[in-house]
Amino acid sequence: MNKYKKIYTFIVSLILLLSNTSFLYAENIINIDASKLVARAEISVNPSSATFTEGSTFEVPILLNTKGQSMNAIDLNLKFDPNKLAIIKPSTGRSIIGIWVQPPKYDNTNGTASFVGTIPGGIVSDSALIITITFQAKSTGTAEIRVLDSSNVLANDGLGSQAILTSNRGVYTILPKSPGGLTIYSDTHQFQDHWYNNNSPTLAWNKDPKIVGFNYILDNKPNTIPDNKNILNETSKSYQDLTDGLWYFHIKALNEGGAWGTTTHYLLRIDTTPPAKFKPQTDYLTKDNINTALITFFTTDSLSGIDHYEIGVIDKTQGETSSPIFVRSESPYQVPLSAVANSRVIIRAYDMAGNSIDIQTSVRPPTAIVQWFTNNSSVMLLLLLILLVLLYLTHYLWGHKVLKRFKLISHLLQGKKGESLDEVVKR
Q: Note the pTM of the prediction, 2 decimals.
A: 0.47
Mean pLDDT along residues 280-306: 82
Greater pLDDT, 331 or 3: 331
CA dist 68 and 126 (Å) reads 8
Which is it for strands 141-147 and 169-175: parallel, antiparallel or unpaired?
antiparallel
pLDDT in tens, 368-410: 565 556 556 677 788 888 888 888 887 776 766 666 666 666 6
Which of 57-66, 176-185, 271-280 shows the lowest per-residue confidence on average (mean pLDDT)?
176-185
Specify the amino acid at residue 202: T
Phi then psi for 192, rounded to 5 degrees? -70, -20
Three-state DSSP class for residue 246: strand
> How many other C-beta atoms can be found within 10 angstroms of the C-beta atom of residue 86?
18
Among the listed ranges 98-107, 132-141, 171-180, 216-225, which one has the minimum average pLDDT value? Answer: 171-180
Helix (H) or strand (E) holding 254: strand 245-255
Mean pLDDT over residues 292-303, rounded?
87
Using a pLDDT cut of 90, give the percent of the chain over it.
32
Which is more confidently placed, 290 or 267?
267
Q: Beta partners for 91?
A: 132
Stretch among 10-14, 279-283, 301-305, 387-391 having the lowest mean pLDDT: 10-14
Which whole-number Å values give the CA distances from 109 to 14, 56, 86, 346, in the listed order?
75, 19, 9, 63
CA angle 51, 261, 220 (to 5 degrees): 110
CA distance 272 to 295: 28
Gap between the terminal Cα atoms of the chain = 136
Nearest to 129, CA basis, from 192, 187, 184, 62: 62
DSSP H helices, 180-234, are: none
Give 397's strand partners.
none
103 neighbors 32 (Cβ within 8 angstroms)? no
Per-residue model confidence as pLDDT tens digits over 8-64:
555 545 555 554 544 444 444 455 555 556 889 999 998 888 888 787 788 899 999
HEC profile of 88-105: EEEECCCCCCCEEEEEEE
